[in-house]
Structure 1
Amino acid sequence: MLTKASLLLFSCCLIPSIALAEVSIEKQIVDQVNNQLGESQDLLEKLVNINSGTMNFAGVRQVGGILTNQFDSIGFITQWVDGNEFDRAGHLVATYESTKNPTAPKILMIGHLDTVFAENDDFQSVTDVGKNRLAGPGITDMKGGDVIIFAALQALHKLGMLEQLNIKVVMTGDEESSGRPLEKSKKALVDAAIWADIALGFEDADGDINTAVTARRGSVGWTLKSSGNAAHSSQIFTDAVGYGAIFELARILNDFREQLSDTPLLSFNPGIIAGGTRLSDRGSSIIESFGKRNVVAQTAIVKGGLRAVSPEQLVNTQSAMQQIVAQHLAKTDATLVFDEGYPPMQQTQGNVDLLALYSKVSVDLGYKPVSAVNPRNAGAADISFAADHVDMAIDGLGLMGTGGHTKDEVADMTTFAQNIQKTAVLLYRLSMFKKERQKN
């Protein structure tokens, strides 16, 4: 287990002679990162210019293949986890276990290969838009983070320091649209987290280099269906006909809003809705309905998402929503079903301590302190599947920018070198911690 005391011992209490030696070594790390920066940017542009929308399996595998060769070149053992069982391209897992420093913490570094941009999207390549900015599909979310992972490890390898580390890199091929069942699609990530002591995620967080993520809200989908008695609209509200499916759906949604919308860090959104005499549900985003304005609706449906900051908040909210659903209007019925989803990444003292160490690295390198992102501003991410299995976890260490998930996605390349430097130095400092005991 890594404790706050062990972190502070290294980060705050070095005797002067050791501190001077560490400064010299860390300067070498920064110089090495800077020396290979052009090579790192070339790799970034090469990856961004390959479409790897989640369902473009060939593109995801191509990006994974390039990164596999990169990790092979610095001595990692690489594995491609085929995604056939969960209808996705698959994942890249790269492992380096030290023979010289076996008591060093085991560190999981998390990225993803896929983007939100489909194979036929017209946003396909990198463009220099000036002022140290590059536009491109997935450049911040998160091929920039993938390259930061590799570049930091490459710098340590070239300096002979990688041998002091125990590292496992997992780059998933389905972060933007997870395969199902999640038990299979996230197995490689969860297995790596069980192995690890520390998890580092390389998403772009809220786009601010002076922040990182210590807590994320989980994300769960839900589907609400209601039914009523079809009849001529002149008979609505009568004892024989009742209120119809649409009024029942409206009642439930309004009660959700009135009873739950003020809960801190909780959000729920009805994203798509339809109702009428007949419905045809064609998947997560398309529902066709038929009805007439003078006919009481027989059926209605709404699909939405729920975000909670802790497992307890999620369970309590789901229970409250089910209780609201059960209070039917006359002659109606309704059911609420929750999908599989991303668990919350809970705020822990270990996460706070790890952020403090990362912030100190930033300050020691001449940059600004790093503070925690408000969980309200941090969407779901793969690290949520890992965080409960490690002593410490932070996310948001990737390439910063604006416009993620849109055709205006632009990277601030001034953050590229900074976060490679900070990652490499953080890994170096972590390599000197000793685990007090093995994980259970």
Structure 2
Amino acid sequence: MKCLRLLAAATLIIAPMSAQAKLSGAESRIVRAVDQEQARTLGLLENLVNQNSGSLNLAGVEAVGRMMRAELEPLGFEVRWVPMAQVARAGHIVAIHRGSGKGRKMLLIGHLDTVFEPDSPFQHFARKDADTVEGPGVGDDKGGMAVMVAALRAMKAAGTLAAADIEIVLTGDEEDAGNPVEVARGDLIEAGKRADVALDFEGLSRENGQDMGSISRRGSGNWEVRATGRTGHSSGVFSAASGNGAIYELSRILTAFRTELPEPNLTFNVGLVVGGATAVLDANGIRGTATGKTNIIPEIAIAKGDIRALSLDQYRRVTDKMRAIVARHMPGSGAEISFDDGAYPPMAPTAGGRALLDRLNLVNRDLGLPEMAPIDPLKRGAGDIGFVAEHVDGLVGLGPAGGGSHAPGETVDVPSLWRQAKRAAILMTRLSAEKP
């Protein structure tokens, strides 16, 4: 891994400097530029949100990609669209800004898609009050992309973008990665190998009203259980001849997961359950249909969910436990569990990540903002930065603060857009002046 040991050492030298340190002239211009372009940034966010880009809405994701291309090319980025038809997804934006070649090479990460497909009733940007807007993906991650663009525009206006070596990867399927994941994330992984620093523009974490830093996040994977039973008349349920049926078998498994698996930094959600005399999932595995009657013992039951762990060791240990639980069949029933190949790797905390957060806190000091403590990784979901974490140290949460992510009513705190854009632009300006 490209560890930031030198950065950590430099931080130890710089940290004791006077708390009265000021922004440079260029950094002051960045602050003014962000403030002057607030309406433009909010307008971009509105346009992004009003274009549906559910992960499976391929045309919509590509449309958001075109919108981001239109923002990045005028800033001097070479932008290309990477189609992902081979994994049944729309594609990604990869954009490169060639700077002086003397500073740290930065990878900026975001995503074009949202969890809200075209059939969701939640489709439009709306102003709730002076400080709050809502809309599908307004925070996750269209707000993050708006912050990214605002920061880069401010750097351009201040004259600091010219020296910055930046590669941007905006994936089109972060919320529902295509398989095989090695293909779906191949361009991101290669970008991570080229970078010295990774900055992830997903949402800002807050705790007790305070902005928090994020130097780690858990990985995630999906699982599916298919339980089977002997169908027949319900009067025979629980008998030796008829058994317990598929739904009782599935219920046993899910109850055992809940009681036997819990441990620190681990969660495991059940997101979809369907069962009956017949039960099927659609090709994308996000919708299910079933038939059955109260007097028929169900023959099949299906459950799908995810598992989130802080390390690969934890993930492997827990999935082994899940297999053992599934194998303890009730009489007359059976079940199998499978795990997808698209698991998101974890981003474990590192010394280099802590040094980057120290750097960000120097920016906070000079902006007159409170120091950001690292947040518990249990309070963050998995994300694309996990795919590059073994190659480069990074920070997560450079996007805006908000609430209700992944649910109708998702919101963004508008002032956090400007706060985060200033932080990101000044941090990138300073990193671009440091030797790799």
Give your verdict on TM over 0.5: yes
CA contact (8 A) 2:193 2:391 kept: yes
Q: Which residue of 1 aligns with 2:375?
A: 373
Q: Which residue of 2 aligns with 1:299?
A: 300
Cα separation, partners in 2 of 1:92 and 1:412, compared to 1, 3 Å: same
User: What TM-score, normalized to structure 2?
Assistant: 0.89
Mapped to 1, the partners of 2:128 and 2:294 lie a distance apart of: 51
The number of aligned residues is 430
What amino acid does structure 2 have at the position aligned with 1:72? E
Mapped to 2, the partners of 1:387 and 1:14 lie a distance apart of: 26
Mapped to 2, the partners of 1:344 and 1:16 lie a distance apart of: 34
Structure 1 stretch displaced more, 330-339 or 105-114? 330-339
Mapped to 1, the partners of 2:301 and 2:218 lie a distance apart of: 29
Does residue 77 (structure 1) correspond to residue 78 (structure 2)? The answer is yes
What amino acid does structure 2 have at the position aligned with 1:375? P
RMSD over equivalenced CA pairs, Å? 2.7
Q: Shift of residue 419 of structure 1?
A: 0.9
Mapped to 1, the partners of 2:96 and 2:205 lie a distance apart of: 29
Mapped to 2, the partners of 1:149 and 1:161 lie a distance apart of: 15
Q: Which residue of 2 aligns with 1:401?
A: 402
Q: Shift of residue 188 of structure 1?
A: 1.9
Mapped to 2, the partners of 1:253 and 1:15 lie a distance apart of: 53
Give the secondary-structure state (helix, strand or coil) at the position aligned to 2:141.
Answer: helix
Q: Which residue of 2 aligns with 1:383?
A: 385
Mapped to 1, the partners of 2:277 and 2:226 lie a distance apart of: 13
Mapped to 2, the partners of 1:230 and 1:15 lie a distance apart of: 73
CA deviations over 1:244-285 (Å, ceiling 9, x no partner) = 433332332222222212x11212223333334333333523
Q: Which residue of 1 aligns with 2:271?
A: 271
What amino acid does structure 2 have at the position aligned with 1:202? F
Mapped to 2, the partners of 1:120 and 1:65 lie a distance apart of: 22
Give the secondary-structure state (helix, strand or coil) at the position aligned to 2:435.
Answer: coil
What amino acid does structure 1 have at the position aligned with 2:58? F
CA contact (8 A) 1:95 1:169 kept: yes
CA contact (8 A) 1:11 1:357 kept: no
Cα separation, partners in 2 of 1:47 and 1:293, compared to 1, 3 Å: closer
Q: Shift of residue 365 of structure 1?
A: 0.6
Mapped to 2, the partners of 1:405 and 1:156 lie a distance apart of: 31
Does residue 200 (structure 1) correspond to residue 204 (structure 2)? The answer is no
Cα separation, partners in 2 of 1:237 and 1:201, compared to 1, 3 Å: same
Q: How does 1:104-115 map to 2 (within 5 A)?
A: 104-115=103-114
CA contact (8 A) 2:27 2:158 kept: no
CA contact (8 A) 2:26 2:158 kept: no
- Say which of 341, 344, 364 aligns to 2:343: 341
CA contact (8 A) 1:202 1:397 kept: yes
Q: Which residue of 1 aligns with 2:417?
A: 416
What amino acid does structure 2 have at the position aligned with 1:246? I
Gaps of 5+ in 1: 436-440
Does residue 126 (structure 1) correspond to residue 125 (structure 2)? The answer is yes
Mapped to 1, the partners of 2:68 and 2:49 lie a distance apart of: 12
Does residue 351 (structure 1) correspond to residue 350 (structure 2)? The answer is no
Cα separation, partners in 2 of 1:121 and 1:251, compared to 1, 3 Å: closer
Does residue 154 (structure 1) correspond to residue 156 (structure 2)? The answer is no
Q: Shift of residue 407 of structure 1?
A: 3.4
CA contact (8 A) 2:226 2:335 kept: yes
What amino acid does structure 2 have at the position aligned with 1:13? I
Mapped to 1, the partners of 2:343 and 2:21 lie a distance apart of: 48
Q: Shift of residue 150 of structure 1?
A: 1.8
Cα separation, partners in 2 of 1:81 and 1:235, compared to 1, 3 Å: same
Q: Shift of residue 145 of structure 1?
A: 1.2
What amino acid does structure 2 have at the position aligned with 1:31? R
Mapped to 2, the partners of 1:47 and 1:302 lie a distance apart of: 34
Structure 1 stretch displaced more, 151-160 or 106-115? 151-160
CA contact (8 A) 2:26 2:159 kept: no
What amino acid does structure 1 have at the position aligned with 2:48? L
Q: Shift of residue 218 of structure 1?
A: 1.9
Give the secondary-structure state (helix, strand or coil) at the position aligned to 1:117.
Answer: coil
Give the secondary-structure state (helix, strand or coil) at the position aligned to 2:94.
Answer: strand
Give the secondary-structure state (helix, strand or coil) at the position aligned to 1:129.
Answer: strand
Q: Which residue of 2 aligns with 1:86?
A: 87
CA contact (8 A) 1:44 1:144 kept: yes
CA contact (8 A) 1:33 1:152 kept: yes
CA contact (8 A) 1:207 1:402 kept: no
What amino acid does structure 1 have at the position aligned with 2:167? K
Mapped to 1, the partners of 2:355 and 2:16 lie a distance apart of: 21
Gaps of 5+ in 2: none
Structure 1 stretch displaced more, 373-382 or 33-42? 33-42
What amino acid does structure 1 have at the position aligned with 2:185? K
Give the secondary-structure state (helix, strand or coil) at the position aligned to 1:161.
Answer: coil
Identity %: 37
What amino acid does structure 2 have at the position aligned with 1:267? T
Give the secondary-structure state (helix, strand or coil) at the position aligned to 1:176.
Answer: coil
Q: Which residue of 1 aligns with 2:312?
A: 311
CA contact (8 A) 1:205 1:378 kept: no
Does residue 217 (structure 1) correspond to residue 218 (structure 2)? The answer is yes
CA contact (8 A) 2:204 2:400 kept: no
Mapped to 2, the partners of 1:394 and 1:366 lie a distance apart of: 21
Q: Shift of residue 310 of structure 1?
A: 1.2
CA contact (8 A) 2:8 2:352 kept: no
CA deviations over 1:123-149 (Å, ceiling 9, x no partner) = 444333332323333222222211221
CA deviations over 1:307-329 (Å, ceiling 9, x no partner) = 21211111001111111222223
Q: Which residue of 2 aligns with 1:138?
A: 137
CA contact (8 A) 1:145 1:399 kept: yes
What amino acid does structure 2 have at the position aligned with 1:140? G
Give the secondary-structure state (helix, strand or coil) at the position aligned to 1:89.
Answer: strand
